[in-house]
Amino acid sequence: MDAQRAQEIADSVDMANVIYNGKSIYIEHVDQQNGVATIHNLDEPNNKQSVSISELAEQ
């Protein structure tokens, strides 16, 4: 995924189906300058992590 699309998804009110390591995730914040996103698994909202945007996939 590219940074612009990740930002669009994060800003959207609609829930997009985004996958990280085979699991559905929610994008909380996108740092386009550094190419990272703060995410959490849908079933673990308190377990936030920063990952490379390039590792995210939209389905």
pLDDT of residue 44: 93
One DSSP character per residue, 9-56 reads HHH-SSPP-EEETTEEEEEEEEETTTTEEEEEETT-TT-EEEEEGGG-
- Helix or strand (DSSP H, E) at 7: helix 3-11
pLDDT digits (tens, 9 = 90+) for 4-50: 999 999 999 888 899 999 999 999 999 999 999 999 999 999 999 99
Provide the whole-model pTM: 0.90
Domains along the chain with CATH numbers: 3-58 (2.30.30)
pLDDT of residue 14: 87
pLDDT of residue 13: 86
pLDDT of residue 58: 95
Separation of alpha carbons 26 and 39, rounded Å = 6
